[in-house]
Amino acid sequence: MHLNPYGADAVLLAVNLVTQPATTPAELADRCEESGVESRLVRDRHVTQADLAAVRVALDEWLAVVDATDDRKRVELVNAMLAKYTEHPRLTNHAGDGWHMHYRPDDVPVGRLVATLISTGTALHLAGRGITRLGRCATDGCNNVYADLSRSGRQRYCSPACSNRDAVRRHRARAGSAEAGGGSGRTTMGE
């Protein structure tokens, strides 16, 4: 996988795997490929139960980054992931597919590969887009995570469905309080 400068692909992979956890090695391989991780990096390494377990550990660490309540703590947690999962960056052109950066040795198990992608992608995402660009959905009852890729940096919901659901709830609450307070303030003909 060629990480883009914003880390979006790797961060979206983390969101995907946290929101709907992979339950089998084959499912982990499928989800990685759907998110843009090259097939040869996943299928040729034969994803195992150990890889699945390693990814779950990395995702738990990633969720701590998402849930960090201040910038310093978030940075501390991302840096801990980088220290654990990455190595010195280097240019590589394996398989003749073009020069790009790697933050890991070439021959690591899939679990470590995914952990490296997520930690590096998250660091690039937060540094490039803003340290607050990860969060939990603002809709009551939804605990899903999101990676804010918006231009404005004001995302608060995990999906348009949750955003709409919360807007309807707020509208109904306003309408209910207007009625309780003596109506809408409008008059009709004949009153």
Domain at 155, CATH number = 1.10.3300.10
Q: How confident is the model at residue 173 (pLDDT cuts 50, 70, 90)?
A: confident
Position 49 in a domain: yes
Position 133 in a domain: yes
Q: In this structure, what token pair is assigned to residue 165?
A: 């659901």
Q: Give the model's pLDDT for residue 189.
A: 44
Position 169 in a domain: no
Mean of pLDDT values over 47-63: 97
Q: In this structure, what token pair is assigned to residue 14?
A: 């983390």
Q: Give the model's pLDDT for residue 182.
A: 60
Q: In this structure, what token pair is assigned to residue 60?
A: 């738990």
pLDDT at residue 7 is higher than 90: no
Q: Are strands 100-102 and 134-136 parallel, antiparallel or unpaired?
A: unpaired
Residue whose token pair is 């809709």:
139
Number of domains in the chain: 1
Q: How confident is the model at residue 97 (pLDDT cuts 50, 70, 90)?
A: confident
**CB-based contact 63:121 (threshold 8 Å):** no
Quote the CA–CA distance of 103 and 120 in Å, as a whole number: 8
Q: Give the model's pLDDT for residue 75.
A: 98
pLDDT at residue 141 is higher than 60: yes
Position 185 in a domain: no
Q: Give the model's pLDDT for residue 37.
A: 83
Q: Give the model's pLDDT for residue 23.
A: 97
Quote the CA–CA distance of 53 and 171 in Å, as a whole number: 43
The radius of gyration computed from the CA coordinates of the chain, to the nearest angstrom, equals 21
**CB-based contact 11:125 (threshold 8 Å):** yes
Position 176 in a domain: no
Mean pLDDT of the chain: 87
Q: How confident is the model at residue 42 (pLDDT cuts 50, 70, 90)?
A: confident
Q: Give the model's pLDDT for residue 113.
A: 92
Q: Give the model's pLDDT for residue 137.
A: 97
Position 182 in a domain: no
Phi-psi category of 104—alpha, beta or left, where left has phi over 0 and alpha has psi -120 to 50?
beta
Mean of pLDDT values over 145-157: 94
Position 178 in a domain: no
Terminus-to-terminus CA distance in the chain, angstroms? 69
Highest mean pLDDT among 91-95, 103-107, 127-131, 174-178 belongs to: 127-131
Q: Which domain holds residue 21?
A: 8-161
pLDDT at residue 184 is higher than 70: no
> Nearest 10 degrees: CA dihedral of 119, 123, 129, 134?
50
Position 13 in a domain: yes
